[in-house]
Amino acid sequence: MTTVRPFRIDIPQADIDDLRDRLSRARWTAPLPGAGWERGIPVAYLRELAQYWANEFDWRAKEAALNAFPQFITEIDGLDVHFVHVRSPEADAVPLLLTHGWPNSFVEFTRTIGPLTDPRAHGLDPALAFDVVIPSVPGFAFSAPPREPGMTTARVAAMWATLMDRLGYDRYGAQGGDLGAYVAPELALAAPEHVIGVHLDGGIGMPTEDDVPAMSAEDRAQWAQMQQWMTGGVDHHALLRAAPQTFALGWNDSPIALLAWMMQKFQEFAYTADRAEDVIDRDHLLTDIALYWFTQTTGTSSWPMYDGLRDGGGFGWPTDQNLVPTGVYGGGSPLMRTLAERGNKITHWPSGNPGNHFVAMEEPAAHVADIRAFFAELR
């Protein structure tokens, strides 16, 4: 049960042909009155994107690129866990576990693996390099789904601690954004004697209504922007908490429905851009979406919403931990740092880093630079 087995992606050609056939036979709805995205994804835009997915997107090329990274499967707590494991050519590399978000996958980090593991080849100081481990969260991509209710980010973190021990790593860092920003602090709580530090893309120090009276004008302006982002768009937490099975039936059967849903969410997460593909390469987005389609994981990946991100269920911000240092890529206002420091040992809080929600996809160079800056302080 502790065996680590090599793994390669090999999607059957029949599945690729079936996807193209389904895309070609789509029954399109008429566009509703309104402009832009105010009623959802524009039909004309989605039709063009679907045509590109069917006729120009080269899955086999993307599959070969993903298979260039060593991948493995091992069983943990009765579930097969898929993971990428790339060792650095540099001596004394720091082991680093990266946890992806939703609606994402290990594809999220593919453009950062090279600079993290082989900085010398990318014009960076080789004195700091990383062995990178990127597991697929249970229910995502090639990892087995939870078999019963009750999966939480704390349980995932405990599985990650087992994985790192199985790989022979005694001291390592943890990093994540979105769903990964919930798992990484839980990993520090699960194995504080092994975790060097936790680097997050964001999600801590978030104010509540109780904090509003003490806010400065700058704080209030940022709070208004946060409220607009948190309450705008489609609330996937509410939707998938209420009826994940119902919606997954549509997404699993229709690639058009899946494409519309995923691009809707990526659009909302790219909140400062006109279109998600203005900041994330179209093929990069479609590689992630195709992975959901081929692995049929739109339903099984919904557990963070219907089981709850934390013990006890429901939505809440990532759990505080002050056992190891925390660094944040997009720190936010001084108020947010003050709030974050109530329950976290903040040692890295930069300002001005570029990017929206999925910064590893949008700004891989900046993401790598910030991870390096944080962990350089902890060596």
Positions annotated as catalytic residues are 178, 306, 357
Contacts of 16 (CB under 8 A, 6+ apart): 59, 60
Q: What CA–CA distance (Å, rounded) separates 221 from 196? A: 35
Residue type, 34: G
Q: How far apart are CA 360 and CA 367, in angstroms?
A: 6
Query: What are the distances in angstroms from CA 273 to CA 100, 266, 357?
Result: 22, 11, 11
The SS3 of residue 122 is: helix
How far apart (Å, rounded) are the C-alpha atoms in residues 215 and 222? 10
Q: CA 84, CA 8: separation in Å to the nearest integer? A: 10
Helix intervals (H) in 29-112: 43-55, 59-67
Q: Are 190 and 158 in contact (CB under 8 A)?
A: yes
DSSP 196-259: EEEEESS--S---GGGGGG--HHHHHHHHHHHHHHHSS--HHHHHHH-HHHHHHHHHH-HHHHH
User: Which residues face 186 on adjacent strands?
Assistant: none
Calculated CA dihedral for residues 5, 289, 100, 186, nearest 10 degrees: -90
Of 103, 98, 270, 128, the closest CA to residue 200 belongs to 98
DSSP H/E element including 7: strand 4-7
